[in-house]
Amino acid sequence: MIYFVATPIGNLKDISLRALETLKAVDEIFCEDTRHTLKLLNAYDIKKPLIACHKFNEASAAEKIIASARAGKQIAVLSDAGMPVISDPGGVVCARLKSEGIAYTVIPGANAFLSALVLSAFPSARFAFIGFLPDKKGERERLLSRYKNCDLTLCFHVAPQDVDGHISSMYAIFGDRRACAVREITKLHEEAVNFTLAQGLAGEKRGEYVIIVEGAAEEENPLNALPAQEHIKHYMELGMDKKEALKQAAKDRGVPKSELYKFTVDI
């Protein structure tokens, strides 16, 4: 079996018991950075062969994983922190395994953007995870434009050197909105700093960030600007009877039907 194993995003104690059992049991570990993974394994006295699988060699690493799986070996796939594939290497490997009909599974665990969403206290019933934005300003702003009218909370991964430029692009496309910058998640200096896109994020930028941005405000229905009677007539002209038109106009305005009933008497 091939296991995609989530690893701690900061605090090494956030590894799961099942993840440790898996790492102890597998024959090989494919990982984003062998030096980074070695620190994790040393903390739990685990010794396994480590093979690099990062964005520059993922296609060739996928072939090695397939060969090892067909040879009957148990394999773990790790990224440096969090869940492989999610803004990390692993997607190419998954696609190749699917195409070859080779089974794999997931050992779940820590996730940076979900933790940041909780720390931000922004609406979380529905949200959109965008991940890392393109480096080039034009490409970045074209991508952001796709989410300009999205009313969901938006979640981004941002490297420290990109924070100011990316917030500037968000402001250029979204206008001013509330936002929260979360860093050092699960570590000693964890922080969640509220700011607005117009203000930007003050201070020195250190460590990887998750930037949480509020969604677009719900657009006002233009029919609500009409006099109440005209609003009701609008729906009657579309074929609704008076009762249906009254109900729809009340729904648009967020008021009880009884409040608008008097405007139907003369229609």
pLDDT digits (tens, 9 = 90+) for 22-35: 999 999 999 999 99
Confidence of residue 154 (pLDDT cuts 50, 70, 90): very high
Judged against a pLDDT cut of 80, whether residue 200 lies above it is answered with yes
Confidence of residue 165 (pLDDT cuts 50, 70, 90): very high
Please give the pLDDT value at position 6: 97
User: Where do the H-state alpha helices sit in the chain?
Assistant: 17-25, 34-43, 58-70, 91-100, 112-120, 137-145, 163-174, 228-237, 242-253, 257-260
**Got the DSSP string for 95-162?**
HHHHHHT--EEEE----HHHHHHHHHT---SSEEEEEEPPSSHHHHHHHHHTTTT--SEEEEEE-GGG
Q: What global pTM score does this model have?
A: 0.78
DSSP code at position 83: -
Domains located in the chain, CATH noted? 2-110 (3.40.1010.10), 113-213 (3.30.950.10), 222-264 (no CATH)
Residue 72 burial (C-beta neighbours within 10 Å; 0-12, 13-18, 19+): exposed
Mean pLDDT rounded to a whole number for the chain: 93
Q: Per-residue pLDDT averaged across 208-227, rounded?
A: 86
Contact by Cβ (8 Å): 122, 129: no
Q: Going by C-beta distance under 8 Å and a sequence separation of 6 or more, which residues neighbour residue 13? A: none
Least confident of 56-60, 118-122, 132-136, 215-219: 215-219
Please give the pLDDT value at position 217: 82
Confidence of residue 253 (pLDDT cuts 50, 70, 90): confident
